[in-house]
Amino acid sequence: MINKLIEKIRKTNAPIVVGLDPMLNYIPKHIQEKAFVEFGETLEGAAEAIWQFNKGIVDATYDLIPAVKPQIAMYEQFGIPGLQAYKKTVDYCKSKDLVVIGDIKRGDIGSTSAAYAVGHLGHVQVGSKKYAGFDEDFATVNPYLGSDGVKPFIDVCKEENKGLFILVKTSNPSSGEFQDRLIDGRPLYEWVGEKVAEWGKDHMGKEYSYIGAVVGATYPEMGKVLRKLMPKTFILVPGYGAQGGKGADLVHFFNEDGLGAIVNSSRGIIAAYKQEAYAEFGELNYADASRKAVETMIADIDGALQNR
Ligand SMILES: O=C(O)c1cc(=O)[nH]c(=O)n1[C@@H]1O[C@H](COP(=O)(O)O)[C@@H](O)[C@H]1O
């Protein structure tokens, strides 16, 4: 799957991911009202609204981008109907040939991680039959529990030709509280990055490992260090747009080959119509605003990479 991701990045010339993080307050009134007429102001109504909203954005952008990243919490908040909308979104994006990164941030003791890995990336055995649960292409993993909490995910990826992005240095303001703590003179995120590179060594695609890392766009200096520490690791870089990351901050997340990183923007794309820069589109044309925001993001990153 890492090979497909790279192939699609090359084809689109767009090392970006559209984050499908639908919140009801980003969803235009006309979509919400239609869903509520059909299902009432219920969890089912909310799930229908987020699904229709996502479909509009995917239809308007899929030809420009290699991948999407649905964040499962945004669906889970609507219970079972929300999870059904998550699955519908995953399947629809795959039918558009997009690579789907399931942002699930899981990680537990080995046996529990194995169940998460099977449910999201693999096949579960039921009697004599096997079924795929959510069937994303990649999943995000929290490595706090150490190797035995991560290994079950790696095993399933190997078997199923899937991939991971493991949290190394997160984009949020408090990420330094633990991640920057010095251990034997080096910050914890460097230890984790080194471990991710080690796990990745035995799990290579053609050019990069299918065991990737997450490093926030909001910490470009740390990204520079981590890029060097993990040369064959693909880096998912969230924090662009709504969290303040800009194209110019991102150049050092990429290798000299112009590859090695994929930048996520969620609110900056899906709620573009609410921004002044895209106000001309209006609420009804929210998906066109998202397309324009994708084009702007691609140009911003491309411009930064050309000028480095
Ligand atoms: O794993 C992630 O994707 C992630 C890691 C991280 O360090 N920071 C981070 O923002 N994310 C996710 O990336 C998305 C960022 O959303 P926006 O800030 O709206 O672009 C959300 O889905 C976050 O959960």
pLDDT, tens only, 29-75: 999 999 999 999 999 999 999 999 999 999 999 999 999 999 999 99
The counts of H helices and E strands in the chain are 12, 12
Sign of CA dihedral 146, 149, 150, 151: positive
Ligand 1 atom closest to the CA of 243, numbered from 1: 18
Pocket flag, ligand 1, residue 171 (CB < 6 Å): yes
Reading phi first (left if > 0) and then psi (alpha if -120 to 50, else beta), residue 161 is in left
Residues paired with 265 in a beta bridge? 18
Pocket flag, ligand 1, residue 264 (CB < 6 Å): yes
Distance 213 CA to ligand 1 centre (A): 13
- Once rounded to an integer, what is the mean pLDDT over residues 228-248? 96
* Mutation probe of ligand 1 site: the residue of 75, 246, 250, 264 with most atoms within 8 A of C-beta: 264
* Mutation probe of ligand 1 site: the residue of 20, 71, 250 with most atoms within 8 A of C-beta: 71
Which range marks the domain in which residue 77 is found? 2-306
How many structural domains is the chain composed of? 1
Distance 268 CA to ligand 1 centre (A): 11
Distance 189 CA to ligand 1 centre (A): 17
Q: Which long-range contacts (CB under 8 A, 24 or more apart) does 184-192 make?
A: 187/222, 189/222, 189/226, 190/225, 190/226, 190/229, 192/143, 192/166, 192/167, 192/168
ipTM of the complex: 0.99
Distance CA 203, CA 278 (A): 42
DSSP code of 134?
S
pLDDT, tens only, 100-114: 999 999 999 999 999
Report yes or no on whether pTM surpasses 0.95. Answer: yes
Residues catalogued as catalytic: 105
pLDDT tier at 308, thresholds 50, 70, 90: confident
What CATH number has the domain bearing residue 178?
Answer: 3.20.20.70
